[in-house]
A and B are shown apart, each in its own frame.
Chain A
Amino acid sequence: DTEVTQTPKHLVMGMTNKKSLKCEQHMGHRAMYWYKQKAKKPPELMFVYSYEKLSINESVPSRFSPECPNSSLLNLHLHALQPEDSALYLCASSQGGQNYNEQFFGPGTRLTVL
């Protein structure tokens, strides 16, 4: 299985809602990533988990809260988002460790904040 899956595919939420994005991989990868991508722009790194510990937080606002319950699963909890948070949220995974770190991306969740 060489796939990263993400659910839901689309999400529309109001500014007072609480929702979660889910990402799963079964490749035995130990590093998992959240990216935010605006239209026609490259992905921007938000968080990196390495061996289930948060290793990088790119100064992301606290209304985004990541969670890594186990080595296969990565969640992104959303609360009190703003319309400018509307974007494609991409999850990725890689082997981890200090060597070659090819990242495999999921199809993304298209988020719209009203």
Chain B
Amino acid sequence: GEDVEQSLFLSVREGDSSVINCTYTDSSSTYLYWYKQEPGAGLQLLTYIFSNMDMKQDQRLTVLLNKKDKHLSLRIADTQTGDSAIYFCAVSRTSGTYKYIFGTGTRLKVLA
């Protein structure tokens, strides 16, 4: 089945850029999402990208998709302490299934 992997932990200094990586195995993954989860809260959709795109920019967020390597990344520019959270990537297909496959999650810690 589909496997989605992320590195567990990332620490950056306030004002630096953060890059969170995600790799997946199913080449038929068509929609790819990034969610943010703060402690004790639900998941907040940050951004998404379709598999026919290579890049998407949304304010401080840049998503890069390398379909050949099945690699997705989320870059957060000018990282702030409020960005400290767990970030999940998720992938889904167009086959009509509503299933997301979530990555393992990356805990981002922003140091002041």
Contacts and interface: CB of A to CB of B under 8 A. Distances in A.
Interface stretch (B58-66, B70-78, B92-100): B92-100
Interface of A: 4, 6, 31, 33, 40-43, 45, 48, 50, 55-56, 88, 90, 92, 94, 96, 98-108, 110
Contacts, number: 61
Nearest to A48: B98
Interface residues of B, number: 26
Contacts of B31: 100-102
Interface of B: 31, 33, 35, 40-45, 48, 50, 86, 88, 92, 94-100, 102-105, 107
A98 B43 contact: no
A47 to B, nearest CB: 11
Contacts of A41: 104-105
B41 A99 contact: no
A94 B31 CA distance: 14
A107 B100 contact: no
Q: Which one of A41, A42, A45 has the greatest number of beta carbons of chain B within 10 Å?
A: A42
